[in-house]
């Protein structure tokens, strides 16, 4: 359709209309045998597809999820109260589809592609919501970084383009903030983003959209939202719809970042549907296929081979834990599916360490393969430094007298912990991250008291902007830290240290 020009549009339409075969439509209409809680059982409707869209009397739409010899079990997308026993229902022969294309960017859609933000919306193209994941031969290893702009993550838990990195933690620990900051950091990088809200409060979704708008991120972001007030069917469908939108861009050779916020609520929606459809409950009352629910979704994230266009789809699924219990059913499932996790701890969050990343339990299985050379050169010992500091800090609590070497280690560690504290919606570009870590290695943060730290850091960032712009440019453009640039940076940072 995109190749149709103004000149040949009438010929194109004429040809299309000539090709159209006018034929009677013949089908069998089923009957609603029972209806309640957004789930219906349909009698006398054989031959339906799994996931087929069904049209009820009055134009109400639903989806077949349970098939048997004569009928089907289906979930309704909305207007659940309007379906009555005895109503007619027909299969459409089509599975659920969502609009894809460039005009979904900047829009807020529901999982079946209706615009939630008002205004006119003319879909370019439709794609099925459920699609198979790229095959093994269509993929290549993840080796390009997806910068989140968050120093603690980019330096110690690097995420690569095409990776699936889980963000896990209790409620109110900053999971969504990390995901949203990662989207904000993609400005002017060419990476497109999709934010998928599942079972969130509408006010929370509105807040996220506002943050994205304020940060100028809606120009390259699409939002798919099924809020807590939407039917379980809509919540179930939301991440698959969002993934289809993201996949379209990936198949165009683009790099895409998708956030699923969150998959624990998605699992709960699916559990609701399954229990209402009388499927046998398993562990924590989830149905037997709850693992497949998420594995088939997250497997659609990939780094495509050059032959397939070389695009990538990076997924940041979010899972909420209860009382820091990461060994519950859904968290362990998603941990095992993803390529690493960023674990956020409420204790750290409340003690002021934000983002509250527990570096001991957080891991990226792609690791240093997805880090720029510049970052590799300055972040080598950070994890060890931090774990040594934490270990020593526990012992130091019991006694006030420590030897000078231990004291220095503690002061340096405190400096690192303070350096990793980063404000909301304030991502650092790569060059700032590299220079800050270089400053850390030169002990520029050692012995700075926690209260004085923000002012000290602000001074340093202003100094970097004023005095190291040329070096920043080299680092951002090449992604490397050549020896001569490193030497110059060290010299200038030392000068700042002496001045401070």
Partner 1 sequence: MRKCTVTAASNMSGKTYEYLCEKVRAKFGDDIEFTRVTDDSVIGGFILDLNRHIFDLSLATQLKAMGRHLREE
Could you list the active site residues? 365
Minimum CB separation of residue 53 from partner 1 in Å reads: 13
Which pairs from 479-488 meet CB under 8 Å and 24+ separation? Answer: 479/372, 479/373, 479/374, 479/430, 480/372, 480/373, 480/374, 481/373, 481/374, 481/377, 481/378, 481/434, 486/377, 486/438
**Residue ranges in 290-319 that form contacts with partner 1 under rule CB under 8 A:** none
User: Least distance (Å) from partner 1 to the CB of residue 27?
Assistant: 5
- 20 touches partner 1 by CB under 8 A: yes
Mark out the alpha helices in 227-339 (DSSP H runs). 232-251, 263-276, 290-298, 329-337
- Is 16 one of the binding residues for partner 1 (CB under 8 A)? yes
Question: Which residue's CB is nearer to partner 1, number 122 or number 327?
Answer: 122
Which one of residues 9, 11, 28, 285 is an interface residue with partner 1 (CB under 8 A)?
28
DSSP one-letter code for 381: T
Selected from 5, 6, 24, 190, the binder of partner 1 by CB under 8 A is: 24
Q: Is 458 in the site for partner 1 (CB under 8 A)?
A: no
For residue 78, give the DSSP letter.
S
The verdict on 22 binding partner 1 (CB under 8 A) reads yes
465-471 long-range contacts, CB within 8 A, separation 24+:
467/492, 467/496, 468/431, 468/435, 468/492, 471/431, 471/435
Query: Which of positions 74-93 make contact with partner 1 (CB under 8 A)?
Result: 88, 90
- Can you tell me which of 5, 6, 10, 25 binds partner 1, judged by CB under 8 A? 25
User: CB-wise, 24 or 404, nearer to partner 1?
Assistant: 24
> 227: which strand partners?
200
- H or E element in which residue 32 lies: strand 30-36
Q: Does 496 bind partner 1 (CB under 8 A)?
A: no
For residue 209, the surrounding DSSP H or E stretch is helix 202-214
* Rounded CA separation 153/423 (Å): 14
Given candidates 5, 6, 19, 401, which one binds partner 1 under the rule CB under 8 A?
19
Report the C-alpha gap between 70 and 75 in whole angstroms: 17
Give me the least distance between CB of 115 and partner 1, in Å please. Answer: 18
Count of residues in the chain: 500
* Binding-residue pattern over the window 111 to 140 for partner 1, x denoting contact by CB under 8 A: --------------xx--------------
Closest by CA to 363, choosing from 388, 338, 327, is: 338
Residues in 32-61 at the binding interface with partner 1, rule: CB under 8 A: 44
Question: Residue 237 — φ and ψ, nearest 5°?
Answer: -80, -25
For residue 381, which of 430, 431, 437 has the smallest C-alpha distance? Answer: 437
Interface with partner 1 (CB under 8 A), residue from 6, 7, 17, 280? 17
Nearest to 78 by CA among 45, 111, 43: 111
Q: How far is the CB of 121 from partner 1 (least distance, A)?
A: 15
Q: Which is nearer to partner 1, 97 or 255 (CB)?
A: 97
Shortest Å, Cβ 90 to partner 1: 7
- In the complex with partner 1, the residue whose CB is nearer, 31 or 346, is 31
Q: Is 121 exposed, middle or buried (0-12, 13-18, 19+ CB in 10 A)?
A: middle
Q: Is 252 in the site for partner 1 (CB under 8 A)?
A: no
Considering the complex, state which of residue 57 and residue 299 has its C-beta at the smaller distance from partner 1. Answer: 57
101 binds partner 1 (CB under 8 A): no
**Omega prior to 262 cis, within 30 of 0:** yes
Number of neighbours of residue 338 by Cβ within 10 angstroms: 25
Q: Smallest distance, Å, CB 123 to partner 1?
A: 9
Query: By CB under 8 A, which span of 11-19, 101-109, 133-141, 318-326 interacts with partner 1?
Result: 11-19
Among positions 13, 322, 458, 469, the unique one binding partner 1 when judged by CB under 8 A = 13
Decide whether 127 or 393 has the Cβ nearer to partner 1: 127
CB of 76 to partner 1, least distance (A): 20
Choice from 5, 6, 26, 483 touching partner 1 (CB under 8 A): 26
d(CA 397, CA 412): 16
* Pick 19 or 323: Cβ nearer partner 1: 19
Instruction: Check residue 452 and report its DSSP letter.
Output: T
d(CA 112, CA 482): 50
Q: At what angle do helices 453-467 and 404-420 cross, to 10 degrees?
A: 70
Of residues 362 through 401, those in contact with partner 1 by CB under 8 A are none
Residue whose CB is less far from partner 1, 60 or 234: 60
Nearest distance from residue 31's CB to partner 1, in Å?
7
Using CB under 8 A as the binding rule, whether residue 31 contacts partner 1 is answered as: yes
Residues with Cβ within 8 Å of residue 47, at least 6 apart in sequence? 91
Q: 122 or 498: whose CB is closer to partner 1?
A: 122
CB of 70 to partner 1, least distance (A): 12
- Residue among 148, 202, 210, 185 nearest 357 (CA): 148
* Residue 27 within binding range of partner 1, rule CB under 8 A: yes
- Residue 30 vs 174, nearer CB to partner 1: 30
Interface with partner 1: number of residues (CB under 8 A): 20
Contact 378, 434 (CB under 8 A): yes
**Which residues lie near partner 1 (CB under 8 A)?**
1, 13, 16-17, 19-20, 22, 24-31, 44, 88, 90, 125-126
């Amino acid at each position: 359709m995109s190749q149709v020009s103004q000149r040949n549009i009438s010929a194109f339409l004429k040809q299309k209309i000539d090709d159209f075969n006018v034929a009677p439509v013949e089908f069998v209409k089923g009957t609603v045998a029972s209806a309640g809680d957004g789930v219906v059982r349909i009698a006398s409707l054989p031959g339906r597809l799994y996931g087929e869209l069904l049209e009820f009397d009055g134009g109400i739409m639903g989806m077949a999820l349970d098939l048997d010899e004569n009928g089907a079990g289906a979930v309704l997308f909305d207007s659940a109260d309007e379906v009555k026993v005895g109503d007619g229902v027909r299969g459409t022969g089509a599975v659920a589809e969502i609009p894809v294309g460039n005009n979904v960017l900047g829009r807020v859609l529901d999982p079946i592609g209706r615009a939630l933000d008002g205004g006119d919306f003319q879909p370019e193209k439709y794609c099925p919501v459920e699609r198979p994941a790229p095959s093994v031969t269509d993929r290549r290893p993840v080796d390009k970084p997806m910068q989140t702009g968050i120093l603690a993550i980019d330096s110690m838990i690097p995420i690569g383009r095409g990776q699936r990195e889980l963000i896990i933690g209790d409620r109110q620990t900053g999971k969504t903030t990390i995901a949203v900051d990662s989207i904000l950091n993609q400005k002017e990088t060419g990476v497109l983003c999709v934010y998928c809200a599942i079972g969130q409060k509408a006010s929370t979704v509105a807040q996220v959209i506002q943050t994205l708008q304020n940060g100028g991120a809606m120009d390259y972001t699409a939002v798919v939202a099924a809020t807590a007030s939407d039917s379980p069917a809509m919540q179930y469908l939301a991440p698959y719809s969002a993934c289809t939108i993201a996949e379209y861009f990936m198949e165009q050779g683009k790099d895409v970042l998708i956030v699923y916020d969150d998959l624990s609520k998605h699992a709960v929606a699916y559990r609701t549907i399954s229990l209402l459809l009388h499927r046998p409950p398993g562990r924590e009352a989830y149905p037997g296929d709850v693992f497949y629910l998420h594995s088939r979704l997250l497997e659609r994230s990939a780094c495509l081979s050059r032959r397939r266009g070389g695009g990538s789809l990076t997924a940041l699924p979010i899972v909420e834990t209860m009382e820091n219990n990461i060994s519950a059913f859904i968290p362990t499932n998603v941990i095992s599916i993803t390529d690493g996790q960023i674990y956020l701890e409420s204790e750290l969050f409340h003690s002021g360490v934000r983002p509250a990343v527990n570096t001991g339990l957080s891991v990226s299985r792609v690791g240093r393969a997805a880090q720029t050379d510049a970052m590799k050169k300055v972040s080598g010992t950070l994890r060890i430094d931090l774990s040594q500091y934490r270990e020593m800090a526990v012992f130091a609590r019991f006694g006030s007298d420590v030897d000078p070497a231990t004291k220095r280690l503690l002061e340096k560690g405190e400096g690192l912990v303070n350096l990793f504290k980063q404000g909301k919606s304030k991502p650092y570009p790569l060059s700032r991250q590299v220079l800050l870590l270089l400053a850390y290695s030169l002990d520029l943060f050692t012995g700075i008291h926690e209260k004085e730290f923000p002012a000290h850091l602000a001074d340093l960032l202003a100094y970097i902007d004023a005095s190291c712009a040329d070096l920043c440019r080299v680092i951002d453009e090449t992604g490397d830290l050549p020896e001569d640039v490193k030497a110059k940076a060290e010299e200038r940072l030392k000068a700042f240290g002496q001045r401070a």
